[in-house]
A and B are shown apart, each in its own frame.
Chain A
Amino acid sequence: MIQNQILQNPIPEALRPELEARIEVDTYSRPVIVLYWSTSLFWLTFATLAGLISSIKLHSPGFLGGMEWITFGRIRPVHWDTAIYGFGGLAASGTLLWLQARLCQIRLPFRELLLVGCVIYNLGIAVGVVGILMGQSTGVETLEFPLYAIPFLVIPYVFIVIANFNMYWRKATKHTYVSQWYLMAVTVWFPILILSAEACTNFGAVDGVAQAIANWWYGHNVVGLFATPTGIAAAYYLIPKVIGKPIHSYHLSLLGFWSNAIFYNWAGTHHLTGGPLPAWTITLGVVGSLMMFIPVITIGINHHMTMLGSFHYLKTSPTLRFAVMGSMCYTLSSFQGSLEALRSHQEVTHFTHYTIGHVHFGMYGFFAPLMFAMMYYAMPRLTNQEWSSARLIRIHFWCTLVGMLLYVLAMCFAGIRQGLMMNDPSIPFLNIVKFTVPFLMLRTLAGLILLTGTIAFLINFSRMLTRHTFTYSTPTLFTSNRRWEDILEKEKELTSKQILDGGQGA
């Protein structure tokens, strides 16, 4: 429909430069972004499977037993590391490059370097995974990858940092949009984070408790200063973009950004509450977490007030639905996290499944949906094709939402009960273990639901990469009845000759 309109009505002269620039930027960055995102989805599937295996092992310890390389204590870190570095790192980097190129309105520089970097990075993760499975984990949580895998991760990231700075420096626009601040911040923070954490743990600069503090300073910040800012940047971009309204308030953006930058990186030590740490380090973590109310509420107001009055778009737009789910879960999971840091709360929930529930609320409720939203939005622009099936998107969305909620609720409830029971010394430990088992089974169910969603997304995504035969002229929306079967139908009609011609003619 739009296509026809465009063909019939000439483009207004005033709009031309913007449109031409947009198309040029997208066309140019296509190979890089598509590679980053498609490999990130590979790791997402991998991580989900690894998570599922660990989940099953936790309630049925005999599952896949007897194999040392896949014992719980190895597959569990593989799950988290591939989720955060594999899926998280690649999806966030793809998002970063695409958003920055678009917002700066210039072509992605160093394309070849970035492509090679992506390959190296993937190799690094594979090497790290094999290392852990072979028993060479460093034993430091979230930094399990053996030392020899680290250069594979850091060097490609340096390419991304260079590309990002380069674009920002040469940007064609006068104005800097709030998303860009976050993207700049990520590329400054992450290299410093990982290098200092590796220095403290793997190079052995410090021992014992000081190392534990450095470990959790990193462990929290890799989520807080890497995944979160990218997620927020995506939400800041997508929400106003899809509904076509400006973001609520520039001043709130400023307040949100700087308070986030100042407070978030102090919060890590709340992972060690009650441990053998000097009280001041833990208190610092608690204060950092409590202060997070300021950026979270500020950013929340900014996102939700922008949405206000436009909620009806949620009925149709897949991008918006994922984006709004992400930004709502950001608010909620951050509230949960701030309260969770309090000592009185930690007395019960620390060391229990509650923490695991919270992590997944943040990662699968906030970060992942925003990355999905980003892909739903950008992929049609990058590949000049529409999503092949609305139904698959619907499955993906509902599986993500329901699976995530089930997961979080089951784990948080079980965690609170588990913590209360653990604090009552007259309850034998094994009774607590047995109490959690049904909830662990629920978690496996939730994991299966999430996996279903991921597979639906994978199918839709890979159709886009493999089908260059024809395009739709209208976007795939939830209200459309575009189905997977249409495509198969269509395919039958076309002879291979036509497919070829069509592909070239398009």
Chain B
Amino acid sequence: MSEATPTGGAPNEVTPPNPDAIFALHSAAMREASEPRDGIKPTPVSYLIMCFFWVLFGGWYMGYYSGEFRANGLNERAVGGPLAAAPPQNPMVLGKEIFGPCMQCHQETGLGVPGSYPPLVGSEYVLGDKRRLVAILLNGITGDLVVKGKTYNSQMPSWKLREDEEIAAVLTYIRASWGNSADSVPTNLVTTIRKELGDKGGWDAKSLAEFAESKPAAVTPVEAQATK
């Protein structure tokens, strides 16, 4: 196309008496090609075969990952049998992972938030009696709580729904991080205490202290067995 030169709309320039003036007015419609048509290039057969196999693959994929088409078949891979049991994990690694949600309150550094969330570093609850520590985790605690000489009053949620192994791992982790160095918490201690607590609700400082003092004899051998 050549350079555009605007031919203005001044009357003398337009519309000489020409029967085709209507076409001139529609110059845009005039200059275009006819309506598009379909070409007839053949489609390679190999392409069609590839498409065919792709559809076959889709069918196989559908069947393989169907979860047997059940309303409750949530896991597409469980069709062939139950998932293999996960291998046991190093409690420090697992514990660091489980600690993720705790960071929201106790912070990544374990130092807590002054005035709201107590520290885990150097805390007598963390480093002290393991039985009491597990009890806090399992049932949660509310109300005034004195940690390292400061009083906190907020709500620590219950972690009852976690696996025993996970609770043991996270406690092992917080007892041995940021300069804390206490021994690990065995899984079967959590199992025992969970049984002991049954349906009990959350703690407050008083009921927790009572619980900690009422050391039943049955627990000691478990602890001894685990630490040897």
Contact = CB atoms under 8 A, between A and B. Distances in A.
A19 B35 CA distance: 11
A239 to B, nearest CB: 8
Contacts of A247: 36-39
Given A19-B23, A481-B4, A290 B100 contact: no
A198 B27 CA distance: 46
B4 to A, nearest CB: 4
Interface in B63-116: 65-76, 96-100, 103-104, 108
Interface stretch (A320-328, A403-411, A497-505): A497-505
B24 interface: yes
A224 to B, nearest CB: 17
B2 A1 contact: yes
B179 interface: no
A79 interface: no
A244 B108 contact: no
Contacts of B32: 241, 381
A280 interface: yes
A490 B33 contact: no
Interface string A272-303: 00001111101110110011011000100000
Contact of A278 (B40, B73, B97): B73
A286 B60 CA distance: 12
Interface string A200-225: 00000000000000000000000000
Interface stretch (B9-17, B184-192, B200-208): B9-17
Interface string A462-506: 000000011111111101111000100010011000110111011
B43 A249 contact: yes
A236 interface: yes
Interface stretch (A54-62, A66-74, A189-197, A251-259): A251-259
Given A279-B75, A482-B6, A384 B39 contact: no
B25 A506 contact: yes
B66 A381 contact: no
Interface in B26-60: 26-43, 48, 51, 54-55, 57-58
B1 interface: yes
A26 interface: yes
User: For the complex, would chain A's binding face be called helix, strand, loop or mixed by DSSP majority?
Assistant: helix
Interface residues of A, number: 89
Contacts of B18: 7
B225 interface: no
A31 interface: no
Interface in A234-273: 236-237, 240-242, 244-253, 255, 259
B198 interface: no
A301 B8 CA distance: 44
A103 interface: yes
Contact of B11 (A253, A316, A502): A502
Contacts of A236: 36
B27 A505 contact: no
B26 A26 contact: yes
Contact of B30 (A2, A280, A429, A476): A2
B11 A498 contact: yes
B22 interface: yes
Contacts of B16: 7
B20 interface: yes
A252 B104 CA distance: 56
A384 B25 contact: yes
Contacts of A246: 36-39
Nearest to A316: B1
A105 B35 CA distance: 10
Contacts of A428: 100, 103-104, 108
Interface string A8-34: 001100000011001100100000000
The interface size bin for chain B is 35 or more
B62 interface: yes
Contacts of A276: 74
B9 A473 contact: no
B35 A286 contact: no
A81 interface: no
A324 to B, nearest CB: 15
Nearest to A103: B35
A136 to B, nearest CB: 33
Given A249-B40, A474-B1, A502-B9, A277 B74 contact: yes
A482 B37 CA distance: 32
Nearest to A282: B76
A425 interface: yes
Contact of B67 (A6, A249, A279, A294): A279
B214 interface: no
A247 B100 CA distance: 58
B3 interface: yes
Given A279-B67, A381-B29, A178 B35 contact: no
Interface string B120-149: 000000000000000000000000000000
B31 to A, nearest CB: 5
Contacts of A425: 97-98, 100
Which 8 pairs of residues, A with B, have the shortest CB-CB distance?
A470-B9, A279-B67, A502-B9, A240-B36, A279-B76, A250-B38, A244-B33, A380-B28
27 contacts: A23-B26, A102-B35, A179-B36, A241-B35, A242-B33, A246-B38, A249-B40, A249-B42, A250-B39, A252-B43, A276-B74, A278-B69, A279-B66, A280-B69, A286-B61, A290-B57, A384-B26, A469-B9, A472-B4, A472-B6, A474-B1, A475-B31, A477-B4, A499-B9, A502-B8, A502-B14, A503-B9
Given A482-B6, A506-B14, 6 more contacts: A2-B30, A26-B26, A248-B39, A249-B39, A255-B48, A482-B4
